[in-house]
Amino acid sequence: MSRPQTTRKKRANGVESRQRILDATVEIAGERGYEGTSIAAVSAKCGLPASSIYWHFKDKDDLIAAVIERSFETWLAAVVLPGEETGTPLERITVMAANVAKSLIDAPDFLRLGLMLALERRPTEPRGRTVFLQVRDIATQKITEVTGTVFPDLDEDALRTLATYAVAGADGLFVHREIHGDAVDLVAMFELHAQLVWDAATRMASRSKG
């Protein structure tokens, strides 16, 4: 076998191993929380030795941070305003909100683990918490930009206020579903949330013109 083929195979195996480790961490952290997650538990779940995990990740905190980052990328991909052919601006915003809700149902790790870490206070701040706060800032900025395209008359402060409110409301709806389970229609709740944010933005835009 030639060297390039060997290199590609090793790289592919490395990517596969990393995904197996992250998938196992999601399961462990979902069941046991941050404190209950350990390299030994992840190793037992994914079937890879601890040495393999340490080859990819420095420690447990680095591992948790990577889980949050991977899930966040999936979530952020849903924060895209559909094209004008989708319907009115309100309908487009509502579709985007529904897509965000679906992404959280499919990949809730970013928000579940992130909120868990954000609400804890430790002498030494975990890297996972830092990463979560950073990606939340990215999410808020993305929503600010989307809102600005629909409401160009609003100033930056108003757009930031709306985005902060939208993110905070999404947090609450997500936590509500975590408590009550599938009985909560997260997609419908996000659609309603989007419409209420739209109403607030419309009123703010009217005041700014007046």
| Per-residue pLDDT reduced to its tens digit, 80-91 | 888 888 899 999
Q: What pLDDT is recorded for position 152?
A: 93
**Would you place residue 55 in the very low, low, confident or very high pLDDT band (cuts 50, 70, 90)?**
very high
Closest CA to 132 of 46, 61, 59, 56: 61
Asked if pLDDT for residue 6 goes beyond 60, the answer is no
Which residues lie closer than 8 Å to 79 by C-beta, 6 or more apart? 96, 100, 139, 142, 143, 146
Domain 3-57: CATH architecture, name and number where available: Orthogonal Bundle (1.10)
Q: What pLDDT is recorded for position 117?
A: 85
**Cα 138 to Cα 33, 72, 79, 195, distances in angstroms:** 25, 10, 11, 22
**Would you place residue 197 in the very low, low, confident or very high pLDDT band (cuts 50, 70, 90)?**
very high
**Cα 164 to Cα 104, 122, 138, 168, 180, distances in angstroms:** 18, 25, 12, 6, 24
Asked if pLDDT for residue 131 goes beyond 90, the answer is no
Asked if pLDDT for residue 209 goes beyond 90, the answer is no
Q: Where in the chain is the domain with CATH 1.10.10.60?
A: 3-57
Work out the mean pLDDT of the chain and round it to a whole number.
88
**Would you place residue 126 in the very low, low, confident or very high pLDDT band (cuts 50, 70, 90)?**
confident
Asked if pLDDT for residue 118 goes beyond 80, the answer is yes
Domain 67-209: CATH architecture, name and number where available: Orthogonal Bundle (1.10)
Q: How far apart are CA 103 and CA 73, in angstroms?
A: 10
Other Cβ atoms less than 10 A from the Cβ of 124: the count is: 6
Asked if pLDDT for residue 146 goes beyond 70, the answer is yes
